[in-house]
Amino acid sequence: MRACGLYNRIMAPLAILFVCIGNSCRSPMAEAITRHLGGRRVDARSAGLAPAGFIADGTIAALESLGYSGEGLRSKGLDDVFDCDLDIVVSLLGNGALDLLPHGTGARREAWAVLDPFGEDEDVYLDVARGLEVRIRALLSEELDGELFLS
């Protein structure tokens, strides 16, 4: 729920923030996948608690292998993306990152424990991206009444 009332996809896109440590692997993957699947109905963002300052090459390669664009991704901190109009905040660190965010950040808070593929081989990046894709499809299906862009 936004401060202005119930979520209405006609009025405003569903605002989702994905949080991890460096905003180099997991959360940018989630941002790109969510943007693709949700289209204009979703405002997908990502941030790191301690941004690395770059997107890992394996992140871009995994996204492209699965048909997602990494265009426009950059490593960001919470100050670069935070506002009070978030509908959903997803910690990719489990409960840890949620505890570091101000209370009231996001109407819905999710804690997903997702392996950090940084420094691993391409297969690990692909496994992480595929796992995120499954969870994101389920989240968006629930939030958007089952309507996803599947291309």
Q: Which long-range contacts (CB under 8 A, 24 or more apart) does 135-139 make?
A: 136/30, 136/33, 136/34, 136/37, 137/37, 139/16, 139/88, 139/90, 139/110
* pLDDT tens-digit series, residues 47-67: 999 999 999 999 999 999 999
What are the chain's domains?
15-143 (3.40.50.2300)
* pLDDT tens-digit series, residues 70-91: 999 999 998 888 766 889 999 9
Judge whether 114 and 25 are in contact, CB under 8 Å: no
* pLDDT exceeds 90 at position 145: no
**Nearest 5°: phi and psi at 13?**
-70, 155
Phi and psi based region of residue 89 (left: phi greater than 0; alpha: psi -120 to 50; beta: remaining)? beta
Q: For residue 11, what pLDDT is reported?
A: 67
Buried b (16+ CB within 10 A) or exposed e, 6-28: ebeeeeebbbbbbbbbbbbbbbb
Lowest mean per-residue pLDDT among 16-30, 31-45, 135-149: 135-149
* pLDDT exceeds 60 at position 3: no
Name the pTM for this structure. 0.88
